[in-house]
């Protein structure tokens, strides 16, 4: 799978270029105050870098709070296994519709097998095709 990417930053002598990947996938997020759940919701990723993830939110999130963001990953493991990216980090900015979380830790986890496709039609006793 090839993902498009954009680069930002100065070309000569400035800050290093940061690759921004415009991955748009479903997310679920949970924010914590200490060990207590303070907010949760769902949205979609807007873009990702190796340091941060920007995603849509249902409301503004509080800056500096710990947050776990689970992203439905667009690549399959072994052509059949659905994956998710679980990101732990800190909210660095937010408004009523978007938030940016600085990535502290991440891991890929499985989320089940991709369905094979529609079930074949059932034929047999009582079937309209019998007989």
pLDDT at 31: 97
- Quote the CATH superfamily of domain 17-113: predicted glycosyltransferase like domains (2.40.10.220)
> What count of other Cβ atoms lies within 10 Å of the Cβ of residue 53?
25
What digits encode the pLDDT tens for the residues 17-54?
788 888 899 999 999 998 999 999 999 999 999 999 99
pLDDT at 1: 39
For residue 8, is pLDDT > 70? Answer: no
Indicate the pTM of the whole model. 0.75
| DSSP string covering 66-107 | EEEEEEEEEEEETTTEEEEEEEEEEEEEE-SSEEEEEEEEEE
What digits encode the pLDDT tens for the residues 65-119?
999 999 999 999 998 999 999 999 999 999 999 999 999 999 999 998 888 766 5
For residue 3, is pLDDT > 60? Answer: no
């Amino acid at each position: 799978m090839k993902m498009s990417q954009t680069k930002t930053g100065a070309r000569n002598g400035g800050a290093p270029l940061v690759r921004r990947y415009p991955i748009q996938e479903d997310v679920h997020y949970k924010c914590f105050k200490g060990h207590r759940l303070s907010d949760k919701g769902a949205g979609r990723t807007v873009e990702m870098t190796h340091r941060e993830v920007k995603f849509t939110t249902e409301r503004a999130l509080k800056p500096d709070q710990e947050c776990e963001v689970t992203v439905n990953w667009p690549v399959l493991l072994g052509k059949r296994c659905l994956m998710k990216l679980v990101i732990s980090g800190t909210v660095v900015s937010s408004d009523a519709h978007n938030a940016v979380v600085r990535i502290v830790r991440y891991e890929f986890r499985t989320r089940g097998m991709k369905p094979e496709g529609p079930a074949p039609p059932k034929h047999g006793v009582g079937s309209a095709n019998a007989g």
